[in-house]
Chains A and B, each alone.
Chain A
Amino acid sequence: MEQKLVKVFKKTEYQMNPDLPEKVWQAIVLRDKCINRVKLWAFSAVGVFSIIGLIPVFKMLSNDLAQSGFYEYLSLAFSSNGLILTYWKDFLLLLAESLPIMSIILTLTLIFILFVSLKQTMKQVIKGQLSLSF
């Protein structure tokens, strides 16, 4: 019975449209292109926004560095070599304390986002050129 029932099912099989595999492939190509395009625009936008964001953040960092006296402490390192060498540990601690941490974190975060978005944008551009559209 087993084999006979297999024969029955085989005999009554549906005949698919011969174009179906090509249509499926084209649908995948189209979907791939669409996903690539969306990712490309999204990462480009993130990159542009991070560049725009970097301008005020750099200004803020520069102001904070000036206000905290970081530049003065740093110039001390070049003017009195001997003294700094003697108390180098205290000097480094002082220099670190004068750093505007929040501004630095914000700047580095934006730079990181910029590089990641740049990398992803390039990846999407390359992928777009080597995409499924043969």
Chain B
Amino acid sequence: MLWKRQIPILIVTVIGFLTLFGWFTDQPQIKSFVDDDATQWFDILASFAIFLGGFNLLKLQTQKILRKQEGWEYSIFAVAGIFFALVAGFIIKGNPDVAWGTHVSAKGTVFKWMFTYMVAPMQATMFALLAFYVASASYRAFRIRNFEATLLLVSGIIIMLGRVPLGSAISSWFCLYLFVLFSGILINSFFKNKQYTAIFVIGGIVLVTVSGMFMGWPVDKPGVFYLPYLQEWIYKYPNVAGARSIMIGIGLGIFSTSIRYVLGIEKSYIGE
């Protein structure tokens, strides 16, 4: 019990307090521990732990092949890949002029070849899939289902158009006409009266046209309907306000979780 409960909590508490309050002191030993030693300890632990991970992967994939479980053919590639990487990393350099150690990044070595022609393209392929997933996810998000989804759709269109050259070519008067027409739809669905809608839409179009004629139809005025300005405003204010509120919540969550650990209130990590 002592080894599995009290001692781990004590270690977390002592190291936690030391790291937390170490930030407020310039005492050399504590500073050196917080800034260098503690992180190096973690790196050393992680370096040893990679063997555990590697062996676990090898064990599971080999078992899968031996037992001919579903999809065992893929495991052959996994096991072969592990051995190929080990050989390229520790046994065959492929370029005698390059020293061991630097061979992982030097040109003309097997390891570098493996990285450039196998690892990098495969990673790029996975990353490229993201474009298609973004498209399918956007389709679902932008489908008009409720007020929030409509708001998202409208903001998304304004941001996308406002950030490309086409957006700056669209006159604010065009957007103003669109605004009048869409407002007409809203008025129609609210009052359900064709006369009101007609009066509003015709009145709005006349008002916009007269204002445009008086002002000389400048592309970027009134600014509130000019897409580049509008997208900048959305990006700078409502977006930043929302993001900051989430950030404050996240910061507080991290802080309170850390404090719960340091004080030994949260003990789920030892199974309590």
Chain A complexes with chain B: no
